[in-house]
Structure 1
Amino acid sequence: MSILKNIKNKSKKLMQELIVLHLAYKNPKTPWTAKALIVLIIGYALSPIDLIPDFIPVIGLLDDLILLPLVIYWAIKLIPKDILEECRVKAKTHQWNKRKSWTAAIIIAIIWILIVYFIIHALFLNK
């Protein structure tokens, strides 16, 4: 039972860090390199497609348990400490704008559909 509780706590911390990254992205003082990495991280975290599919036993969860926290840690290292602290304070009371969340989800879905279309077109239809 403690393993499940530990996973839930880590999941909550991960979600909190995603909120911090979102707020840091909106800050004009955040370096562009951090912003670029934040876009990739949040896009990947919200995307229904993983590098390693989740249905593969054990290995399927590695990208969510190891890869995602590593790139979040890397992005946090690129953000200046004062901006990071300000965003951590704001993240404790931050409420997501549901309309913008749906818009972002739709944009991510369209991007994945276009990627799949171009891959299929290049591999099978371009003869």
Structure 2
Amino acid sequence: MSISIALKNWAKRIKRDGVTLWFAGKHPQTPWYAKALGIFVVAYALSPIDLVPDFIPVLGYVDDVLLLPALIWLAVRMLPPDVLLECRAQADEWMRTQGAKPSSRWGALLIMAVWVALGAALWFWLKRYL
């Protein structure tokens, strides 16, 4: 198997597991800590706004290439096996019928809130020292 095929398969699994977490967040048997991390990861993954904007050289893609897959992997590992199987089946069906991942306005709002909080913290810090 070539490297490009392996990377495409890996990217498809990451995308599917992101949608899996979306379904797991609604599943009643998902533990609260897995729901909390899963909801955060899904909100971030489905948000049209990145925490680190892509136009920033190198750092802009670090979240897409390293941070997001690592968080998805961790959140999926927290799910009970039966919930994981059920939610993966739902995710596969969703991706087969819808052809795209869902989007999240709440995710965009979450990322915007993080940026506003960071900006306010920086402003208060600079105000104190200047």
TM norm. shorter chain > 0.5? yes
Taking a change above 3 Å as real, the CA distance of residues 39 and 54 of structure 1, as seen in their structure-2 partners, is farther
User: Structure 2 length normalisation: TM-score?
Assistant: 0.70
2:17 counterpart of 1:11 = no
Question: In the alignment, which residue of structure 2 is the partner of 1:55?
Answer: 56
Question: In the alignment, which residue of structure 2 is the partner of 1:79?
Answer: 79
Q: Which has the higher contact order (CA 8 A, sep 6+)?
A: 2
Over the matched positions of the two proteins, sequence identity in percent amounts to 32
State the AA in 1 paired with 2:15.
Answer: M
Gaps of 5+ in 1: none
CA distance in 1, matches of 2:67, 2:54: 13
User: Structure 1 length normalisation: TM-score?
Assistant: 0.71
Query: Given that residues 44 and 111 in structure 2 are in contact (C-alpha distance below 8 angstroms), is that contact kept between their aligned partners in structure 1?
Result: no
Offset at residue 64 of structure 1 (A): 1.4
Taking a change above 3 Å as real, the CA distance of residues 61 and 6 of structure 1, as seen in their structure-2 partners, is farther
Question: In the alignment, which residue of structure 1 is the partner of 2:107?
Answer: 108
Question: In the alignment, which residue of structure 2 is the partner of 1:39?
Answer: 39
State the AA in 2 paired with 1:76.
Answer: V
CA distance in 2, matches of 1:115, 1:62: 18
SS at 1:55 equivalent = coil
